[in-house]
Amino acid sequence: MKPSVLKRSDHNVSRKNISSAAVKVLYHLKDEGYTSYLAGGGVRDLLLNRNPKDFDVATNATPEQIRKIFKNCRLIGRRFRLAHILFRGEIIETSTFRAPVPEGDTDLCENTFRAEDNTGMVMRDNIFGTPKEDALRRDFTINALFYNIADFSIIDYAGGLEDLDKKIIRVIGEPDKRFAEDPVRMIRAARFAGTLDFDIEPAAYESICRNNQLLSNAAPSRMYEEVQKLFFCGHAKAVFKWLEKTDLLHPMFDEFSHWIDEDKSRHEWVIQTLDQMDRWRKAGLRVHPGLFFALIFGEYHEFLIQQQIDTGTSPHDAARNAVHSHLKGMCKNVQVPKAVIYQVSDIMSNQQRFERTKGRQPQRFMQSRGFLDAFLYFKFSSKVHKRNSELMEFWSEERKNAPEIPVPEKPKRTRKRRPPKR
């Protein structure tokens, strides 16, 4: 099958919209005699007039050959070797074209290794191939496009250009098999559909609904990374709707999603949280994971905290116990780091301090490290539940009148000189 090729005059992708670091990598590989393409989501976003977050390069040079060409290179990865080419403030991920490994055949070459678990999920998979093979191994057609630096053309082996026009998320290959190989592809489909305002192709959509429980087989640490991509993408509300439609929430956040199912009014808190996340993202504000998890699970944590208070536990201990119990239990599906769990715990346990408005307690609280995150949560929850209006007015006024606290400069480290050798 020959690829569809768009000449430079027939598309909108320009080098001026590509990272200068990526352009340097592409040209350097080309000048050394290798094929070098801009690959994947970067090409998709450029064609859609969006600003790509990453620029990835695909080439026929092996990782070892790439390392010889670039002094600023390090090799990473066990499942498949990748080259990270380091520039100031940017990393250009460069991969060798991959090919599928025939099932049961692991003796093709020294770079070949395939391993699957009993669910069909690929644990390791490593074989080099051609551009066509590399394109057809990718997850979705719209992510299988190449930009050729040699003649500035767009190369399409999988029908991605047509699906971009139709606004369709289509799996390359048989959906059931591809999702079994890597269940995370299901939530990636939801993310792309929500972010790009595309539809998921019917066969893929039905496969996700049928196989969503496979998501529990994904590595919890990888799921944590994917969850951040889902909700920090600037289109969290739209993504969430796809997660609900495909019932992917249950294998991700089991206890929480069942709690929402018991009372649909609890759904409103989540929607308003995601609206707030999208507003912050569009304003260019960065939200750290601790604040995000505190907000998204806030109403559920308040419910758990009140249950413990009703049994006689102090509010401070109830907050810490409830948050730790929930988030640590969630780690079997989504592995939330301990540091993030403690941040969420601090935000929730600090809520009771907003009721203390006498004497110097407000000033002490405002000068504490966790005040701003706690205040953002308090402000959000007050708005959603239409409560604490007088307290909200008090703390807003206190913040306006509070003197700026100077940030202490870090002391300069002085290097001790070694005594001269005699």
- Active-site annotation, residues: 54, 56, 139
- Do the Cβ atoms of 49 and 14 come closer than 8 Å? no
Given strand 56-59, what is the order of strands in its sheet?
4-6, 153-156, 145-148, 36-39, 56-59, 90-96, 82-87, 73-76
What is the rounded CA–CA span in Å between residue 39 and residue 77? 19
Closest CA to 348 of 290, 392, 393, 394: 290
Strand partners of residue 36: 59
What is the rounded CA–CA span in Å between residue 229 and residue 224? 9
- Do the Cβ atoms of 281 and 234 come closer than 8 Å? yes
The H or E element spanning position 5 is strand 4-6
What is the rounded CA–CA span in Å between residue 46 and residue 267? 35
The H or E element spanning position 82 is strand 82-87
What is the rounded CA–CA span in Å between residue 272 and residue 103? 47
Tokens encoding 31: 């000048």
Q: 19 phi and psi, to 5 degrees?
A: -50, 135
What is the rounded CA–CA span in Å between residue 377 and residue 3? 52
What is the rounded CA–CA span in Å between residue 182 and residue 137? 12
